[in-house]
Structure 1
Amino acid sequence: AYEDFVEGIRPVTEKGAVTYEVRPGVLKRLCDRARRAPDKRFALFIDEINRGNIAKVFGELITLLEVDKRIRIDASGNRAASCKGLEVTLPYSGERFGVPANVDVIGTMNTADRSIALLDSALRRRFRFEELTPKPELLESIDDGEGNAIDLRQLLQAMNARLSRLLHRDQTLGHSYFYHVKSFDELRRVFAREILPFLQEAFYDDWRQIRYVLADQAVEE
């Protein structure tokens, strides 16, 4: 919520009495730190940024995130004289607030989850997007316990090729499923506890398609 992200009113109990104070949210606290250290960079990471109501969470800060609206801070921690950045008056504290140029806001999105909304155009144009795709080259081969090698790179590539054909490339498997697999028993556990449940959900328990992804030869081509 905006009150957690920027600022809000919070109850404070002292000596048995309850009062209400304006408390800064996580972004405002970070920006205050950034103002005091203009020679350093600060970052706020927001996991699955599109799960919340972005317009309500960011409020008036949507505009302040733009690069040309950022506040440049001088060595004394004050706004630089030549700065043309934008500041707004916060609704609870009445303070003037702007986002310093040395603050980065980084969000992650799971584009495979169709149950949540993607970012609207107003917020999308204020971010630079970078797609993170599976990296099978980070994987190695393991032994199947009988002296045969299982190439996890080829395994992931083959499964993802089938998933892309049947679903969409957003629905492919990440390399993290196999990244820590060092034995055949660990591989079996990953399939049983993580990959199969994912495939069951993705294909609505259509075992014909699931077997195709797993290269089960019992399924006709």
Structure 2
Amino acid sequence: MINEELQKKIKLLKHKKQIILQGSPGTGKTREAKEIAEEMAPNNYKLIQFHPAYSYEDFVRGIVATTTDDGQVSYKVQNKVLAEMAENANKEYKLAKDEDRKPTNFVLIIDEINRANLSSVLGELIYALEYRGEAVESMYELDGSREIVLPENLYIIGTMNTADRSVGHIDYAIRRRFAFVDVNTDESVIPKNAKSLFGEIKHLFNEYLSEEFELNDVMIGHSYFLADDLKQALKYEIKPILYEYLKDGVLTCEKDKINDLKTIQIKG
């Protein structure tokens, strides 16, 4: 049984068709995205991760090189993850209409969606996100057609790390086509043995957070404090990200403030 907050996100996704779960590291954005996908399309969802080199030809449609049986190299146009999923969803949508039933859903999860140049990666699909069922023309022709259609039963969930300012900016035209949902640190799930450590770290952020940043954008998430071995997590996961925050100007305290976290008594 999924909780009320997740139900709200599912309701929003069904209405908007594409949402972005945004929050600081370790708040469970990807986990939530997968839970939503499992609920909406248990057998028809896929997870991919964007990176700075990701392109339209990787995501929508592009030319690929293939080797023939006689060793010759040939080139052909091929649908990639979004166009391929759209094609399958369209077939299901039309079949369901013919059979007078609700179509099966398809969900695409794009982890770290803002790490790629979205305007470049999406191309003409920016229009198709909003106008479902209307064909847009790809720059590549496949099987005699340039058309790509995003149907009503195809949903997109993106995740975005709000602490990372080094990645791509999402422009207003694309923002308008997504609903943005905050996923914040959930203190209620932090176990008793980790509450003292969490309190000390939260104090660091309250006292030494740069004015350029919002607390919810950078406060490390609850998943860091759910580790079976909290001492190991502190040494190899929590401290390293706090040191990075120092270098990036997110935190303005002395390094010793982070070093001193080792003196905290961690039970268990």
Same fold (TM over 0.5): yes
Q: How is 1:146-165 mapped onto 2 (pairs within 5 angstroms)?
A: 150=193, 152-165=194-207
Q: Which amino acid aligns with 1:7?
A: R
Question: Is 1:177 the equivalent of 2:224?
Answer: yes
| RMSD, aligned α-carbons | 2.1
Q: Which residue of 2 aligns with 1:34?
A: 89
Residues 203, 210 of structure 1: 8 Å contact kept: no
Question: Is 1:49 the equivalent of 2:113?
Answer: yes
Gaps of 5+ in 2: 1-54, 94-102, 248-252
- C-alpha separation in 2, matches of 1:160 and 1:207: 16
The one of 238, 246, 261 equivalent to 1:203 is 246
The one of 55, 74, 77 equivalent to 1:22 is 77
Task: Give how far 1:153 is off.
Answer: 3.5
Structure number having the greater helix percentage: 2
Taking CA–CA contacts closer than 8 Å with sequence separation of 6 or more, which of the two structures ends up with the larger relative contact order?
2
Q: Which amino acid aligns with 2:72?
A: A
Residues 111, 118 of structure 1: 8 Å contact kept: no
The one of 226, 229, 236 equivalent to 1:193 is 236
Task: Give how far 1:155 is off.
Answer: 3.4
Q: Which residue of 2 aligns with 1:13?
A: 67
- Closer, same or farther in 2 for the Cα pair 1:100/1:157, shift >3 Å? farther
The one of 169, 175, 197 equivalent to 1:118 is 169
- C-alpha separation in 1, matches of 2:169 and 2:263: 35
Residues 227, 233 of structure 2: 8 Å contact kept: no
Q: Which residue of 2 aligns with 1:166?
A: 208
Question: Is 1:59 the equivalent of 2:123?
Answer: yes
Which stretches of structure 1, 4 residues or more, deviate above 6 A after TM superposition? none
Question: Is 1:130 the equivalent of 2:181?
Answer: yes
Residue identity (%)? 37
- C-alpha separation in 2, matches of 1:10 and 1:122: 30
Residues 117, 168 of structure 2: 8 Å contact kept: no
Q: Which residue of 2 aligns with 1:145?
A: none
Q: Which amino acid aligns with 1:43?
A: V
Q: What do residues 40-99 of structure 1 show as CA deviations (whole Å, max 9, x unaligned)?
A: 111111111111111110001011111xx101xxxxxxxxxxxxxx21122211332111
Task: Give how far 1:197 is off.
Answer: 1.0
- The DSSP-based 3-state class of the residue aligned with 2:183 is coil
Q: Which amino acid aligns with 1:174?
A: G
Gaps of 5+ in 1: 72-85, 142-149
Task: Give how far 1:33 is off.
Answer: 1.1
- Closer, same or farther in 2 for the Cα pair 1:209/1:87, shift >3 Å? same
- C-alpha separation in 2, matches of 1:209 and 1:122: 42
- C-alpha separation in 2, matches of 1:43 and 1:153: 36
Residues 137, 153 of structure 1: 8 Å contact kept: no
- Closer, same or farther in 2 for the Cα pair 1:95/1:117, shift >3 Å? closer
- C-alpha separation in 2, matches of 1:9 and 1:126: 28
- The DSSP-based 3-state class of the residue aligned with 2:180 is coil
- Closer, same or farther in 2 for the Cα pair 1:166/1:48, shift >3 Å? same
**What TM-score results when the alignment is normalised by the length of structure 1?**
0.77
Task: Give how far 1:9 is off.
Answer: 0.8
How many corresponding residue pairs? Answer: 187
**What TM-score results when the alignment is normalised by the length of structure 2?**
0.64
Higher Cα Rg, which structure:
1
Task: Give how far 1:216 is off.
Answer: 6.5
